[in-house]
Chain A
Amino acid sequence: MTPDFPNLSFTLFCLLNTGFVLLVSPFYMSLIKKVKAAAQGRKGPRLLQNYYDLRKLLHREVVYSPTSSGVMRVTPYLNLAVLLLASLFVPVIFIPDAPAGIGNIIVFIYLLAIERFFTALCGLDAGSTFGGMGSSRAMSLSAVIEPTMVISFAALAYVLKTVDLHEMFAITSASAIPVSPTLVLVSISLFIIIIVETGRLPVDNPATHLELTMINEAMILEQSGKNLALIELTHSVKQTLLMAVLINILVPVGLSGGPNMGDLAVSGLLVSGLAFLVKAALLAVVIGLFESSLSKMRLFRLPVFYMMAFFFSALTILMEVFA
C-alpha cells in the first residue's frame, strides 16, 4: 500500500523529524562529554557547549589546502544532506504515511556508508599524512564492521519480519510484550554498532588528537571553519539516528502514530518528543559510562569486539528459528 505523495503527514514529518534531529543532536554529544568528565572527576563542558562551538565555527573562515580538490569543498554539504535524508528513515517523534522506500533498512545502511566513504575521501584529499592514515584505518575497519552491521540489521529484519524501519517501530510500539529475548540480543549488537560507527572509546578516542590512536579525528583534521561545523553536525546527527534506532526497538514507549494515522494532535507530538529526549539522554549517559569504563583497544584486537556483535546477531537469528 503506497499512500499518495505528497501527503500532509509526510510533509509534516519531513519538517518536524529532521528539524528535531538537527536541533537535539549536538546536545547528546555534550551530554556524553559531560558524563565522561563526571566519571573522571572533572567538571566538563556546559551542556550547550556544542551549540556555542558550532556557532563560533560557522562564523570562521574556511581554509583549504592548496593540494585539495573539489571533494574537500563538496563533502561537508554532501554528508550533511545524506544524513538528513537518512533521518527520514528513522522516525523519532511520530510514524508518518511514508512513500514506499523511505524507511528501507538496507538503503539506510548504505546512506551511512556513503557518508563514511566521502569522509575517507576527504581525509585523503588534503594530502596530509594524518588524513591518509585515518582514512586507511577507517576503511579497513569498516570492511570488518560492515558484514556485522548487515547481519545485525538482517537479524532485526528477521525478528520483526519487515525491512522497513517505520514498520519495525510500528510493530515494536504496538506489541503488548515490552521486551522479547531476541530483541534484547539484537540490541546488544546495535549498541556495539553505535560505539563503532560514532568512533567511541574502545574503537577510537573522540577526545584526542594523538596521532597513534586517531581514526575519525584524523580524517577531519584538515577541515576548518564552516565546513568543520557541518562535519561535526553530521557526526552528531549520525549518532542520534543510530541511538534512535536502538531506543525505538528496545523501549518504543511514547512514539506516537501508526502508519495510517490521519490527524496528529499537537500534545501527542510534544509528549513523544519529550519521551525521546528523556530516553536518548538516558542512553547517552549509558554510552558515557560505557566509554569511561573501558580503555582504548589495540587496533588489531578490534575484530574481537566486532565479532561480539556478529555473534549476538547470528544467535538472534538462530534463536528466532528455534525459540
Chain B
Amino acid sequence: MISPLLTDPLFLEGAIKILFVFVLVTAALVISARNLASLLTTYTIQSLLLALIAGLLYLIEGSPVLLSIAALTFVSKVLLIPFFINIVEEKVKIRRDMKFNYLEPTSSLMVSIALVLLAYVFLSGFFALDRLFFFGAVIGLSLTLMGMLVMFSRRKVITKVLGYLTMENGVLLFGIFVTELPFIIEVLIIIDLIILVLLTTILAVGIDSTIEEYHQRLLKLKIWSGREYL
C-alpha cells in the first residue's frame, strides 16, 4: 500500500510542496512568537521538515548525498542543537522575548510577504529550473531573508541565534534545490553551527539581556575591559 506511493514522483512532489507550506508556517511563527520555548519547538519542527524534504527528494532523485543530508540534518538540527539551546533556556531567567527593533511582528509579517515576492522576482530572472526546484529555491531564499529579518528585528541575543539558525535552514533548502553542494561543505557548515551554539551555551551569562546590557554585564564581571568599546 505504502511502497507504490513512495515511488510515484507525482505523489512525492505533492508531498514536498505541502511540506514547503509548513516550512513557511514555521517561518511566520519564528517571526511572531514571543515565548522562547515555543520558538525553539518551532525551529525543531522546521529542521525536521527540512530533513523530511531532503528524504523525499532522495526518493525522487536517488542521489545518496540527499539521504546523508537528511540524516545529518536530523541528528544535528533536530536533536543536538535544540538540546544545547534548551540548556541555555533553562539557565537564563527569561521565558519570553518581547523586545523588538524597528519592526513589530505585524509589520515584519508584511515585510516578509514582500521578501517572498522579491525572492520570486529575483530568482525568476536567473534560473530556468524545473517547477518543483524553482519553488524550492524561492522558499529557501525567502526563508533565508526571513531569518535575517528575525535577526535584526529581535533584540534578545537568544532569539537572534534562532534567527541565524533559521537563516541557515534557508541556505540548506536553497542548496538542496539549486546547486548540489559537496557533502563535505554541508558537514563543515553543521560543525560551525554546533560550535556556534556551544559558544552560545558558554556565553549564557549574558544571553538573557540586550546587547547594551550585555556589555555592562561583561564589564561588571571583569570578563572584558571594555576599552575598545569606550
Does any Cβ of B come within 8 Å of A201's Cβ?
no
Residues on the A chain within 8 Å of B17, using CB: 180-181, 323
Does any Cβ of B come within 8 Å of A114's Cβ?
no
Within 8 A of A (CB), among B1-59: 14, 17-18, 20-21, 24-25, 28, 32
Residues on the A chain within 8 Å of B32, using CB: 304, 307-308
When the two chains form their complex, are residues B21 and A184 in contact, meaning their CB atoms are under 8 A apart? yes
Residues on the B chain within 8 Å of A180, using CB: 14, 17
CA distance A184 to B16 in the complex (A): 13
Residues on the A chain within 8 Å of B104, using CB: 304
When the two chains form their complex, are residues A323 and B117 in contact, meaning their CB atoms are under 8 A apart? no
Residues on the B chain within 8 Å of A304, using CB: 32, 104-106, 109
When the two chains form their complex, are residues A310 and B109 in contact, meaning their CB atoms are under 8 A apart? yes
CA distance A312 to B112 in the complex (A): 11
Residues on the B chain within 8 Å of A181, using CB: 14, 17-18, 20-21
Residues on the B chain within 8 Å of A314, using CB: 113
Does any Cβ of A come within 8 Å of B83's Cβ?
no
Does any Cβ of A come within 8 Å of B110's Cβ?
yes
Give min CB distance, A48 to chain B, whole Å. 37
CA distance A314 to B17 in the complex (A): 17
Given the known inter-chain contacts A307-B109, A308-B109, A310-B109, please indicate yes or no for A315 contacting B116, CB distance below 8 A.
yes
CA distance A31 to B104 in the complex (A): 37
CB-CB nearest in chain B for A313: B113
Interface centre among A180, A188, A311, A323 (most CB of B within 10 A): A311
Number of interface residues of B (CB under 8 A): 24
Chain A residues at the B interface, C-beta cutoff of 8 Å:
177, 179-182, 184-185, 188, 303-304, 307-308, 310-312, 314-315, 318-319, 322-323
Interface centre among B105, B112, B124, B134 (most CB of A within 10 A): B105
What total count of A-B pairs have CB within 8 Å? Answer: 57
CB-CB nearest in chain B for A314: B113
CB-CB nearest in chain B for A321: B120
When the two chains form their complex, are residues B120 and A303 in contact, meaning their CB atoms are under 8 A apart? no
CA distance A319 to B113 in the complex (A): 11
Residues on the B chain within 8 Å of A307, using CB: 32, 105-106, 109-110
Chain B 129-143, CB-CB to A under 8 Å as 1, else 0, gives 001001100100000
Contact residue among A308, A319, A322 (Cβ-Cβ distance under 8 Å from B28): A308
When the two chains form their complex, are residues B24 and A315 in contact, meaning their CB atoms are under 8 A apart? yes
Within 8 A of A (CB), among B68-125: 104-106, 109-110, 112-113, 116-117, 120, 124
Give min CB distance, A124 to chain B, whole Å. 29
CA distance A64 to B150 in the complex (A): 53
Give min CB distance, A100 to chain B, whole Å. 34
When the two chains form their complex, are residues A318 and B120 in contact, meaning their CB atoms are under 8 A apart? yes
CB-CB nearest in chain B for A311: B109
CB-CB nearest in chain B for A316: B21
When the two chains form their complex, are residues B25 and A188 in contact, meaning their CB atoms are under 8 A apart? yes
CA distance A185 to B17 in the complex (A): 11
CA distance A308 to B120 in the complex (A): 20
When the two chains form their complex, are residues B138 and A315 in contact, meaning their CB atoms are under 8 A apart? no
When the two chains form their complex, are residues A184 and B18 in contact, meaning their CB atoms are under 8 A apart? yes
Given contacts A181-B14, A314-B113, 8 further A-B pairs with CB under 8 A are: A182-B21, A184-B21, A185-B24, A307-B105, A308-B32, A311-B109, A311-B110, A323-B135
When the two chains form their complex, are residues A303 and B106 in contact, meaning their CB atoms are under 8 A apart? yes
Residues on the A chain within 8 Å of B25, using CB: 188, 312
Residues on the A chain within 8 Å of B135, using CB: 319, 322-323
Contact residue among A177, A308, A322 (Cβ-Cβ distance under 8 Å from B14): A177
CB-CB nearest in chain A for B139: A319
When the two chains form their complex, are residues B28 and A311 in contact, meaning their CB atoms are under 8 A apart? yes
CB-CB nearest in chain A for B31: A311
CB-CB nearest in chain A for B14: A177
CA distance A177 to B11 in the complex (A): 9
CA distance A312 to B32 in the complex (A): 13
CB-CB nearest in chain B for A185: B21
Task: Please provide the 8 A-B residue pairs with the shortest distance between their CB atoms, ordered closest to farther.
Answer: A181-B17, A311-B109, A181-B21, A307-B109, A307-B106, A314-B113, A304-B105, A181-B18
CB-CB nearest in chain A for B29: A308
Give min CB distance, B187 to chain A, whole Å. 31
Give min CB distance, A184 to chain B, whole Å. 5
Contact residue among B24, B106, B112, B120 (Cβ-Cβ distance under 8 Å from A322): B120
27 A-B pairs with CB atoms under 8 Å apart are A177-B14, A179-B14, A179-B18, A180-B14, A180-B17, A181-B14, A181-B20, A181-B21, A188-B25, A303-B106, A304-B104, A304-B105, A304-B106, A304-B109, A307-B105, A307-B109, A308-B28, A310-B109, A311-B110, A311-B113, A315-B113, A315-B116, A318-B120, A319-B21, A322-B120, A322-B135, A323-B17
